[in-house]
Amino acid sequence: MASTFFNNGQEQHIRVCITRDSLVPPGQPFYCLSAEGYLNTHCCYTDYCNSMDLKIPSGLPLFVQRTVARTIVLQEIIGKGRFGEVWRGRWRGGDVAVKIFSSREERSWFREAEIYQTIMLRHENILGFIAADNKDNGTWTQLWLVSDYHEYGSLFDYLNRYSVTTEGMIKLTLSAANGLAHLHMEILGTQGKPGIAHRDLKSKNILVKKNCTCAIADLGLAVRHDSATDTIDIAPNQRVGTKRYMAPEVLDETINMKHFESFKCADIYALGLVYWEIARRCNTGGVHEEYQLPYYDLVPSDPAIDEMRKVVCDQNQRPNIPNWWQSYEALRVMGKIMRECWYANGAARLTALRIKKTLSQLSIDEDIKI
Ligand SMILES: Nc1ncnc2c1ncn2[C@@H]1O[C@H](COP(=O)(O)OP(=O)(O)O)[C@@H](O)[C@H]1O
Ligand SMILES: [Mg+2]
């Protein structure tokens, strides 16, 4: 077992050998029973793990996470996704969201918890992680991820329900770019952060906060970049994510998966689609369009990879940018950003940082306080 903790402000490391039986669950490299109270503990399959180097993660110590999770009272189901249910829960008089995975999905639960606990990940436009807990009631294991609760729900739900003002559109798009720029960015140094690519960006995986800004959520498919060795922290499988939002190079499998930047470029393509969903709902000159998913007019619901590939790769089609958007500065800028997110060549697309700068300038020009 290798652990890292703070003692009088000093980072300290210990390495000890523990038995197979002390692993939770037994035999797997997850939490060690003795991990409670430590900030970061890693167990390996092998008897000795001397060459391990751990960093202090962001997030609560594991025993605090467990205590929090075990005092939450579940209230109602608020979402269903790939892996199970999302509940609203009450904790100390406030609301929290609890994503519950079945024990079959242990890998997914562990992976998402691991990503959320990447050092320096915390950001106002990334869903705030509170705790992970594995609760065994004797018959089965319940796997929980606890996070901040956002009553507006996903951006998809929000746009279905409401149209937005120009100001609202800029707040949503700028905050989403802010969150994605932080996720993508590598911060160097011992307390640094690796670059992270989301790989399943879409309006259902972005939440809307009370102040009408975005928080990027559902980090279960994310990959992290180790720039020292130029490697990706899990073997990335070919096509994960949501077919409708897959970039052309993902659909036709030409993406270079050894190259971390490729995953960031695929995220930008998906961000452009999300921007299109938002911009359509913008009230300008008294008009706004109804909510639609990207490619609603070109593919059936729940499209197959082949159906998407035909439209996006072979025919090189993209969502329609209406001509009348050119008459309104904010929509004109949005249309231009989208086009530059949708290039067939991933490397030619904008970066999240570039989009953030363009939208910050737009918010100044439009006299919007963010
Ligand atoms: N923190 C939260 N606050 C409010 N609603 C949430 C929250 N987290 C998830 N949801 C709702 O649950 C849905 C599924 O959550 P998500 O994390 O995307 O799970 P999955 O991995 O199963 O897709 C979201 O689309 C959203 O509607
Ligand atoms: Mg999801």
198-254 confidence digits (pLDDT tens): 999 999 999 999 999 999 999 999 999 998 899 998 877 766 899 999 999 999 999
Residue 169 reports pLDDT greater than 90: yes
The full DSSP string for 320-361 is ---GGGGGSHHHHHHHHHHHHH--SSGGGSPPHHHHHHHHHH
What are the structure tokens assigned to 291, written together? Answer: 């909510």
Residue 18 lies in a domain: yes
| Sign of the CA dihedral with 258 first, then 260, 265, and 271 last | positive
Residue 19 reports pLDDT greater than 80: no
Query: How do strand 40-42 and strand 31-32 relate by DSSP bridges?
Result: unpaired
Distance CA 176, CA 125 (A): 7
> Could you tell me if 255 and 325 lie in one domain?
yes
Listed residues 37, 56, 75: the one ending a domain: 56
What are the structure tokens assigned to 194, written together? Answer: 């690796």
Residue 303 lies in a domain: yes
Which residue's CA is the nearest one to ligand 1's atom 1? 149
> Could you tell me if 51 and 72 lie in one domain?
no
Residue 370 lies in a domain: no
Nearest atom, ligand 1, residue 205 CA: 18
Listed residues 94, 125, 148: the one ending a domain: 148
**C-beta of 155 in contact with ligand 1 (< 6 A):** no
Per the structure, the count of domains in the chain is 3
Q: Residues 21-26: contacts with CB within 8 Å, 24+ apart?
A: 24/134, 25/106, 25/134, 25/141
> Could you tell me if 45 and 186 lie in one domain?
no
pLDDT, tens digit (0-9, with 9 covering 90-100), for 253-306: 999 999 999 999 999 999 999 999 999 999 998 889 999 999 999 999 999 999
> Could you tell me if 31 and 78 lie in one domain?
no
Distance 87 CA to ligand 1 centre (A): 9
Residue 21 a catalytic site member: no
Query: How do strand 214-216 and strand 206-208 relate by DSSP bridges?
Result: antiparallel
Q: What is the dihedral of CA 100, 101, 102, 108, to 10 degrees?
A: -170
Whether omega for the bond prior to residue 25 falls within 30 degrees of 0, making it cis, is yes
> Could you tell me if 255 and 294 lie in one domain?
yes
> Could you tell me if 213 and 323 lie in one domain?
yes
> Could you tell me if 320 and 192 lie in one domain?
yes
> Could you tell me if 176 and 309 lie in one domain?
yes
Which residue's CA is the nearest one to ligand 1's atom 12? 79
CATH number of 80's domain = 3.30.200.20
Q: What is the pLDDT of residue 24?
A: 45
CATH number of 330's domain = 1.10.510.10
Residues 6+ apart with CB under 8 A from 217: 126, 127, 147, 154, 205, 206, 207
pLDDT, tens digit (0-9, with 9 covering 90-100), for 315-336: 999 999 999 999 999 999 999 9
Q: What is the pLDDT of residue 17?
A: 54
Which residue's CA is the nearest one to ligand 1's atom 11? 79
Residue 358 reports pLDDT greater than 90: yes
DSSP code for 24: E
Percent of the chain with pLDDT strictly greater than 90? 63
Q: What is the pLDDT of residue 31?
A: 42
> Could you tell me if 246 and 323 lie in one domain?
yes
> Could you tell me if 202 and 277 lie in one domain?
yes
| Sign of the CA dihedral with 101 first, then 104, 106, and 112 last | negative
**C-beta of 115 in contact with ligand 1 (< 6 A):** no
Whether 336 has a binding-site annotation, put simply, is no
**C-beta of 209 in contact with ligand 1 (< 6 A):** no
Contact assessment for residue 145 and residue 84, using Cβ atoms and an 8 Å cutoff:
no
pLDDT, tens digit (0-9, with 9 covering 90-100), for 25-48: 444 444 443 334 444 455 444 444
Distance 111 CA to ligand 1 centre (A): 16
Type and span of the H or E element at 274: helix 260-280
Type and span of the H or E element at 273: helix 260-280
Domain hosting residue 352, numbered range:
155-365
Q: Identify the nearest ligand to the CA of 87 by its number.
A: 1
What are the structure tokens assigned to 29, written together? Answer: 């490299």
> Could you tell me if 189 and 334 lie in one domain?
yes
Distance 63 CA to ligand 1 centre (A): 25
Contact assessment for residue 274 and residue 176, using Cβ atoms and an 8 Å cutoff:
yes
Residues 6+ apart with CB under 8 A from 18: 1, 32, 34, 43
Contact assessment for residue 200 and residue 240, using Cβ atoms and an 8 Å cutoff:
yes
**C-beta of 81 in contact with ligand 1 (< 6 A):** yes
What are the structure tokens assigned to 260, written together? Answer: 């971390």
Around Cβ 73, how many Cβ atoms within 10 Å? 9
Q: Which residues pair with 131 in a beta bridge?
A: 146
> pTM of the entire structure?
0.85
Mean pLDDT of 121-143: 87
**C-beta of 135 in contact with ligand 1 (< 6 A):** no
CA dist list (Å): 212 to 173, 223, 341: 10, 28, 23
What are the structure tokens assigned to 17, written together? Answer: 């050998």
Listed residues 16, 32, 56: the one ending a domain: 56
Q: What is the pLDDT of residue 39?
A: 43
